[in-house]
Structure 1
Amino acid sequence: MDKNSPPDWDPRSEAVLNDQMTTYDDMRHRCPVAHSRYGYTSLFRHEDVMRVLKDHETFSSAVSRFPSVPNGMDPPEHTVYRRLIEPYFSPEHMNAFAPTCRDVAVRLVQALPGEGTTELMGDFAQIFALQIQCAWLGWPADLHEPLRLWTLKNHAATLARDEAALSAVALEFDGYIKDLLAVRRTDDNAAPDDITTSLLRNQSLGRSLTDDEIVSILRNWTVGELATISASIGILTHYLAANSGLQQQLREHPALLPAAIDEILRIHAPLVMNRRVTTKQVTLGGRTLAKGSRLALVWASANRDEAVFGNPDEFRLDRDPELNLLYGAGIHVCPGAPLARLELRIVMEELLGRTSQIALVSDREPVKAFFPASGFSALPLQIQKPSSRAL
């Protein structure tokens, strides 16, 4: 982008922040490859995003100044670490974790009041995301509150583009993980048999992982999990509260939930964007981008592209799952997708199965989350539980 050229849009303007999805829909038609004053070129069309995802040689994932294993790596380095982490999301691991996941979901749904107004994000979604992530990694319950506060600080620093604050937040997280690793080393053979201990003992690279490598892997998993799982629960529950017929259909036929969850999260993405950088000059959407151009792949727009999905707001259970970019595509497709799908399916099964109605509150509007987050920061709902049935 010519430094003297005016930007095509301002992703942090009040108009965008007040209604991200409508803005992205507009940009997809008006300026599908758009420069901003923040140094990123945003891609809004499904076709352009897919081109980037499938060409990792031209569009590098090495965009962060912090180590990012393996998200921020390119082959061949990425291939080695990807092979290391994929077994943790195997069907065997998911089946073994499912009972624990259900126990957490059941306990939190049971704790919801059976009448009156519930603020779903703070009273349920964020708590579930924290507890389920700690349960999966084998982290103690006394990390729940520090991680909750850490998530808020991380989001605030990201929103403010405060480099000093981002560095401090990263160091704080590193400290939590290194403390956990130190305890496990001290305990040696008595250390808990969990994923964190497994990473510490992993020898698939022909050596032990360094603390920095383990911290990076766990940071990537945790940041993504805490933000997207809580956002997804809010988006799903809000959609079902606004569509009572579908809510009842899924309550009566929970086998439809996996496809329904992916479709609702296609309509309203829990993750707004992801980044890449060009390794050479390239043309996208008729615009020539220099080597080193930073790109923002706007999932929230690409997954609503009329050229691929027709009416983007139409809910359909028969869509081709290969077109849905909810978990990305190509070599960087989200390795944690099986875990996310398991957690969202179970939590929605329990939320629907243990309630008789979930409804919006007429006199209290949901509060939309601010970029770079998606979904809702506050979601007041009326939740009714059947009184005649033991839960």
Structure 2
Amino acid sequence: MSTLAEFLDWLEEARTHGPVHHDAGQGVWQVVGHPEVSEILADPGTYSSDMSEIMPVQDDFTTFQQGNFVRMDPPRHRKLRGIVSQAFTPRVVAGLEPRIAEVTTELLDAVDGHDRIDLIEALAYPLPIIVIAELLGIPTADRGIFRRWADVLFDQTAIDPEDSILEAGQKSMARVAPTIREMNSYLLDYIRSRRAHPGDDLTTRLTTAEVDGERLDDQQIIGFVGLLLLAGHITTTATLGNTIVGLDENPDAFAEVRADPGLLPATIEESIRFRTPFPRLARLTTRPARLGDTDLPAGAILQLWVTAANRDPRIFTDPNSFDIHRKPNPHLSFGHGIHFCLGAPLARLEAKIALRLLMQRYDDIALTPDAPPEFRNPFIMVSVNKLPLSVRPSNSAVLPTTAHPSRPQPSSTRA
């Protein structure tokens, strides 16, 4: 399953079996309907995010999972998420706008004069990794290392959709364990250095944070920092690439957005729906449950296909069309309920600023026919690895200067 079209065909075939149905081959219940996925995400008491009891024990993953609140249920999830949530409120994130614009301009300046650029290399990857690394206090010069980690974790090609979910999980774990081990070691060294030499950054604040009156130890902080570092950039990278691909496929929409940049937020939301970066989630029933017309036993493994939910014809008119005027647009790409993506405000802001400045900079932006995009495996992540573009600089755009008299410091992330 190497292309998005093949992946979508597979999901549509699954939909013919009903919005919730048992898949004996994979040993899971497939959930492809929007109302059903929403109901699951809104009920963490019945549908647990903690899959540890069904996955094999592996030391490197166990270390990383200690602070990974995405895989936790209340009340621990609430306590751990609360430690960092105030650093990502919409108000606090809005204060990062000057820095995001500055980094975007610097990155575009670096390819000034080129009539071809790779959007991922030039902008879509470095922008969000620089922003999140600065918030965490991690050296941005190491972003090549972080990209290698992300490529291993989110660019697995040897995925067979007919494998059982447990078999697939075991294969994946074996494949990425060395990268997880390297990441844990790097982050542990950095956390220890921050504890010894505090700075004005989020990692330092994690070393002094308390849960139920107890400080987090260094091993627990690894999962925190790793999750924020990876999730804090990969979604924006995917969104920027996916949005340009979507607009290139729909030139009338591209012309509309150019004429009215006020359409950018709605365009970004439609891009996130149409090409859902993270196509699936997993949950485990804690008790017998009835979902729609289906009875589920306790201990059932559920595979939630967010991509399919975002194209549910019961919710979205003409779901397979890219419509920048879609309203409402209740996509589930950032999740729903207590696990709604903490970094959604930051990802949205980064995408809006980057796309606005990109369109100001260039009169023409188009995919290059002789060098097509390189996509990730959509079964793992719907994203572009390489996106060569032909560009023609604007002669009329007034571009922001890279010189900012007052550059926001990481402390601006405090609520």
With the length of structure 1 as denominator, give the TM-score of the two structures.
Answer: 0.86
SS of the residue corresponding to residue 303 of structure 2 reads strand
SS of the residue corresponding to residue 302 of structure 2 reads strand
Report deviation, 1:373.
Answer: 1.5
Q: Does residue 57 in structure 1 map to residue 57 in structure 2?
A: no
- Which residue is 2:36 aligned to? 48
Per-residue deviation, residues 262-295 of structure 1 (Å, max 9, x unmatched)? 1221111111111111112334455544322221
Per-residue deviation, residues 80-120 of structure 1 (Å, max 9, x unmatched)? 22322211112342133222222111112223355533332
- Which residue is 1:250 aligned to? 257
In 2, the alpha carbon distance for the partners of 1:18 and 1:63 equals 30
SS of the residue corresponding to residue 306 of structure 1 reads coil
In 2, the alpha carbon distance for the partners of 1:204 and 1:224 equals 23
Q: Does residue 267 in structure 1 map to residue 274 in structure 2?
A: yes
Identity %: 29
1:117-196 paired onto structure 2 within 5 Å: 117-155=116-154, 161-187=171-197, 191-196=198-203
Contact 2:48 2:284 in 1 (8 A): yes
Give the stretch that moved more between structures: 193-202 or 84-93: 84-93
Per-residue deviation, residues 155-174 of structure 1 (Å, max 9, x unmatched)? 35695634234333222212
In 1, the alpha carbon distance for the partners of 2:350 and 2:122 equals 17
- Pick the aligned partner of 2:300 from 293, 297, 301: 293
1:213-228 paired onto structure 2 within 5 Å: 213-228=220-235
Contact 1:28 1:305 in 2 (8 A): no
1:1-391 paired onto structure 2 within 5 Å: 13=1, 19-34=6-21, 35=23, 37-64=25-52, 66=62, 67=65, 68-155=67-154, 161-187=171-197, 191-203=198-210, 205-284=212-291, 286-312=293-319, 313-317=321-325, 319-321=327-329, 323-370=330-377, 371-387=379-395, 389=397, 391=399
Amino acid at match of 2:201: D
Amino acid at match of 2:10: T
In 2, the alpha carbon distance for the partners of 1:127 and 1:243 equals 26
Contact 2:37 2:304 in 1 (8 A): yes
RMSD of aligned Cα (Å): 2.5
Amino acid at match of 1:128: L
- Equivalenced residue count is 374
In 1, the alpha carbon distance for the partners of 2:50 and 2:293 equals 25
Per-residue deviation, residues 157-193 of structure 1 (Å, max 9, x unmatched)? 6956342343332222122221112222222xxx321
Report deviation, 1:388.
Answer: 5.2
In 2, the alpha carbon distance for the partners of 1:36 and 1:104 equals 49
In 2, the alpha carbon distance for the partners of 1:165 and 1:314 equals 35
Per-residue deviation, residues 232-286 of structure 1 (Å, max 9, x unmatched)? 1110111122223322332332232122211221111111111111112334455
Contact 1:242 1:359 in 2 (8 A): no
Amino acid at match of 1:90: T
In 2, the alpha carbon distance for the partners of 1:166 and 1:304 equals 31
Report deviation, 1:201.
Answer: 2.0
Give the stretch that moved more between structures: 42-51 or 122-131: 122-131
Contact 2:129 2:140 in 1 (8 A): no
SS of the residue corresponding to residue 308 of structure 1 reads coil
Contact 2:128 2:350 in 1 (8 A): no
Contact 1:120 1:381 in 2 (8 A): yes
Contact 1:266 1:303 in 2 (8 A): yes
| Structure 1 gap ranges (5+) | 1-12
SS of the residue corresponding to residue 305 of structure 1 reads coil
Contact 1:60 1:276 in 2 (8 A): yes
In 2, the alpha carbon distance for the partners of 1:155 and 1:314 equals 25
Per-residue deviation, residues 42-90 of structure 1 (Å, max 9, x unmatched)? 2111011012112211110112464253211111222222322211112
In 2, the alpha carbon distance for the partners of 1:63 and 1:135 equals 32
In 2, the alpha carbon distance for the partners of 1:318 and 1:154 equals 33
Change in 2 beyond 3 A, CA 1:94/1:17:
closer
In 2, the alpha carbon distance for the partners of 1:89 and 1:388 equals 35
Contact 1:364 1:380 in 2 (8 A): yes
SS of the residue corresponding to residue 125 of structure 2 reads helix
Change in 2 beyond 3 A, CA 1:334/1:29:
same
Contact 2:94 2:349 in 1 (8 A): no
SS of the residue corresponding to residue 341 of structure 2 reads coil
Contact 1:61 1:74 in 2 (8 A): yes
Change in 2 beyond 3 A, CA 1:258/1:234:
same
SS of the residue corresponding to residue 309 of structure 1 reads coil
In 2, the alpha carbon distance for the partners of 1:199 and 1:40 equals 37
Report deviation, 1:205.
Answer: 4.1
Amino acid at match of 2:191: L
| Structure 2 gap ranges (5+) | 56-61, 160-170, 400-415
Amino acid at match of 1:52: I
Contact 2:4 2:382 in 1 (8 A): no
With the length of structure 2 as denominator, give the TM-score of the two structures.
Answer: 0.82
